[in-house]
Every structure is written in C-alpha cells, then in structure tokens.
Structure 1
Amino acid sequence: MDQIARWRVTTMPLVLMYHSVERYDSDPFRVTVSPGRFARQLGWLARQGLTGVSMRELLRRHAEGTARGLVGLTFDDGYDDFLGEVVPLLLKHRFTATVFVVSELLGGHNGWDAGGPRKRLMDEDGVRRAASLGMEIGSHSAGHRSLAGLSEAELRHEVTASKATLERVLGDEVSGFCYPYGHATAREVNAVRAAGYGYACAIWRSPLNGRHLLPRTYVGERDGGLRLSVKRVRHRVRWGR
C-alpha cells in the first residue's frame, strides 16, 4: 500500500486554507490577508511549536506516523503575490506550502471573482520558481469552474488537462488537486481519483471525507492568535489531532 493510500482521516492533521496575501482596501470575499497579519499568523504557529508544510510533506509524514507538530499550509488560486509576499515569509520560518493553480489562466487574472479585487495570477515562470523554492504545485482545475455543474466531458477536461499542463510546465508529477469553491460530490471525487491524483483538498467536512476530499480550516484577516487557538482546538475535537 502506498503512503498516500494509508491516510487515516480519523486522525487528520490540521490543514490551513489561504488564498491571497497582499495589502488591500476592500475584499468582500475575504480571500485576502494582509502581509502583516500573515507574518503574525506564521509567528503564532512557530511559537506553538508547529511547522507549516506542503500537503505532499504532510501526507508522507502522516503515513510514516511522524506528522506530530506539522500543519498543512495551502494557498488556492495561484495568485502572483504567493511569490512576492508568501514565499519569503515561509522561507524565513523554514516552512513550505502547497499552492493550487488554475492551469488555463496562468499569467491572467481572477475573473471568476466578479465584484472582488482584481488579482494577477502566477505565470509559468512563476510556477516553476515557486517549485524551485521548495513549494508544492497542485491543480485547481483548468478553468476554475464549479465541477458539480459540468458535463462528464467538461469534468474530465478540468481535472485531466490541468494535470497534464502543469506536469509539462514543471517537468514533474502533480499529485494534488483542489476543488474550485469546494464543490465536490462522489462523481467529482471519482473523476479526480481516476485522473491519477494522489489526494485532493476540499473545504468543508463531509461524509465523503478521505484522501481525495480532505477538509481544511479557513484562515482570514481577522484570525489572530486567539481565533487560531480556537480553530486548532475545534480541529482537535473533531479529528483527535
């Protein structure tokens, strides 16, 4: 049995979900954390004796039974600020993370967030640079569409084309997937598994939870030490970790 297949959901380590880190004036979708707040959040993790790691590392260490003290750090959408704001702070703490990128929009903008702040996405060079700095690159689909409303052909394209594109860009295997908007039923989970991904991240806890539907804990601008402590305790109560 491979390491990822041995994932034990009942003892799931804490996985934090971020999106963008940059200075901002308004963000109705609450996907942005200011650099100062993000720095304090990482500092809080370090003071608790916790180490932020990519999902690839978390899965491997969890399978080995050595994940104690590790926290998964994930960043959805692949914003360009991941390189400018996130990575330097991660490296300062000797942390790593997984960034899930939208393969057909590399170098573009977050057009799916109508009414929210316009944000630039990493291009191919940026994705390769993030990987060279020790970050894991995962797929956030081909076009950031809700998979639950797509035809079978469209669903297959979103999960398989994105994997193929990113593997071409990186020259390496892409084993992680993240469901846009967290929308996933058994059909979408099966499609992601069939496409060859070793794991997939969702948002909410679900009866379908498993290595291809891993829930995460949202982190936003309002999350200081006290709120992070509460979220950590809540996770322990639910999952025993």
Structure 2
Amino acid sequence: MSLPVDTRVPWVAMYHSVGDCSDDPYRITVTPERLDRQLAWLTRRGLRGVSVAELLAAPTRRGLVGLTFDDGYADFLSGALPVLRRHGCTATLFVLPGRLGGDNAWDPLGPRRPLLTADGIRQAAAEGVEIGSHGLTHVDLTRADDLTLKAETVESRGVLADLLGTAIAGFCYPYGTVDRRAMDAVRGAGYGYACAIDPGPLNGPHALPRVHVGQNDTALRLFLKYRLHRLRRRPVEGL
C-alpha cells in the first residue's frame, strides 16, 4: 500500500553510522540488517530513497524520500552502500573535510568511530552518492565566532570541491542547530540547500527539517514518523 506524499513537505531521513550498535549512547547507529528492513519498508509502500539534491530537483517529489547520512563515518562504505545498492537507492553523505581519516572526537561518550578518508569520500561519490558538507570540524554554528563560521561554511565547501572536482550543493548543520546568522552564512557560502533537524521558525531550502531514523525504528514507528512529519511540519517555502 502506497503512502500519501505531501510534496510541499519533503520527507528527509537522517542516519549516521551503519554498523555495530552494541555501544551507542547517542543512538546514532543502525545495523546493516535494520537499514535493509527500513529501505524494504519504503519500497513496499511505493517510495524510493534518493539524495537531497535529487529530491529537491524532482518536478513533484511524489514517491521520493531523502536519505542522509551525517558525519561521514567510514562504515558507510561497508555498512550502508551495499544496502542502498540492493534497494536501488541513492543518498547524501555529509562529511567533515577538516577531519579526514579522523574520528568522532566531538562525542565525549561511546567508542571512537573512524571517519572516511579522502579516498573513501571519492569512492562514495563514484558510486553515485551525493557529497555535502557538514562543516570542517563539527562545530555548533550558532555558537561560532565570525572567523570560525566562515571556515566551517566557505572553506569546507572549497576543500570538498577541490577533492571531488565538482561544486558542492548541500550543507548539514552540525548537531542540527541553526539560527538566522548560521543560515545566512550557509546561503552566502553558495550552498543550494541545507539540512537541519528542527529549524524552528526558520523556513526555506536552507532550513530543511529531517526525521531521525534509528535502530529501534520498526515498520510501525516508521509509519508514524512518516505521517506525523506531514502533519507537524509546515510546507517548505521556496521549493
């Protein structure tokens, strides 16, 4: 049974790591098996997961949902990419060019999770994954000074453009936090869109809301999140 889609309120799912979730205090990890079941759920309802760029460019966005993976964890290549291929999905991967080959040092709890190297990011892009910026180093932009804000937005876009040889369209606010100043900086840096979590009073393509999807999201929970998103979110202006 297909689900109704309000094309004015695009549904964008937010993932992070895809691998072992036995030690996961922030609940940011899903296993490949769980991701497989979640994407199968979309398919059975006539929905297909795509990158945010593809979602926004679609004439009606009917039958499409956005898939995003934050932070650029190295397990994206081994855990997420084969599952995406199997279901005919694409996705957007938001990476941290200031931490290439590093780890999630911004998380005080839980295990250190390795991040993609430059070669890993190129590999993901070669597989059809859209690469976006998550800033340089995972800084809360609402608390950043002017120099840091410029580096996290402008410089991160430039580094990724040089690394991939293509323009970078998308940005993702670290921690999902955004205010007017951060949104204006992202827009001014040349990004075509930006993803938040709950942007509050902000609206438009540079303050796209997303829905967290985790290991506990079974078919029923996904159905509820999908329906509630359409009911609770305002139509996104300018799309």
What SS class does the counterpart of residue 200 from structure 1 fall into?
Answer: strand
2:11 aligned with 1:17, yes or no? no
Kindly provide the CA deviation profile for residues 125-155 of structure 1, in whole angstroms up to 9, marking residues without a partner as x.
1101101101000000011011111111111
Please list the CA deviations of residues 77-124 of structure 1 after superposition, one character each: whole Å capped at 9, or x if unmatched: 000111111011101111000000011101111101111221010101
Paired with 1:238 and 1:150, the residues of 2 have a C-alpha distance of 30
**Equivalent position of 2:30 in the other structure:** 33
Query: Relative contact order (alpha carbons < 8 A, sep ≥ 6): 1 or 2 greater?
Result: 1
Q: TM-score, normalised by structure 1?
A: 0.92
Q: Which residue is equivalent to 1:4?
A: none
1:44 aligns with 2:41: yes
How far apart are residue 205 of structure 1 and its match? 4.2
Q: Decide whether aligned partners of structure 1 residues 163 and 132 sit closer, same or farther in structure 2, where only a CA change above 3 A counts.
A: same
* 8 Å Cα contact 2:7/2:62 also seen in 1: no
1:57 is aligned, of 54, 58, 65, to 54
1:59-208 equivalence runs, <5 A: 59-61=56-58, 64-65=59-60, 67-208=61-202
List alignment gaps of at least 5 residues for structure 1.
Answer: 1-8
What secondary structure, in the 3-state scheme, does the structure 1 residue paired with 2:128 have? coil
Contact 1:10–1:239 at 8 Å: present in 2 too? no
Q: C-alpha displacement at 1:24, in angstroms? A: 2.9
State the alpha-carbon separation in 2 of the partners of residues 193 and 169 from structure 1: 21
Contact 2:192/2:206 (CA < 8 Å) preserved in 1?
A: yes
Gap change, CA 1:51 and 1:10, over 3 Å in 2: closer
Q: Look up the match of 1:210.
A: 204
Identify the range of structure 1 (218-227 vs 115-124) with the bigger mean alpha-carbon deviation: 115-124
Q: CA deviation at 1:25?
A: 1.6
1:239 Cα offset (Å): 4.4
Shift of 1:164: 0.5
Q: RMSD value over aligned CA atoms?
A: 1.5
Matched with 2:3 is none
Query: Secondary structure of 1:11's match?
Result: coil
Name the % identity: 52
Name segments (4+ residues, structure 1) moved above 3 Å. none
Find the aligned partners of 1:186 and 1:102 in 2 and give their Cα distance.
Answer: 22
**Counterpart code for 1:145:** V
Counterpart of 2:40, as a letter, is: G
Unaligned runs of 5+ in 2: 1-5
For residue 236 of structure 1, report the CA deviation from its aligned partner. 2.1
The question of whether the paired residues in 1 share the 8 Å contact of 2:95 and 2:131 is answered with: yes
Q: Deviations over 1:197-239 (max 9, x none)?
A: 0000001142112100100000011000000000011022134
Q: Deviations over 1:5-37 (max 9, x none)?
A: xxxx98122100000010232111001111111
> Between Structure 1 and Structure 2, how many residues are aligned?
230
Q: 1-side partners of 2:132 and 2:7: how far apart? A: 24
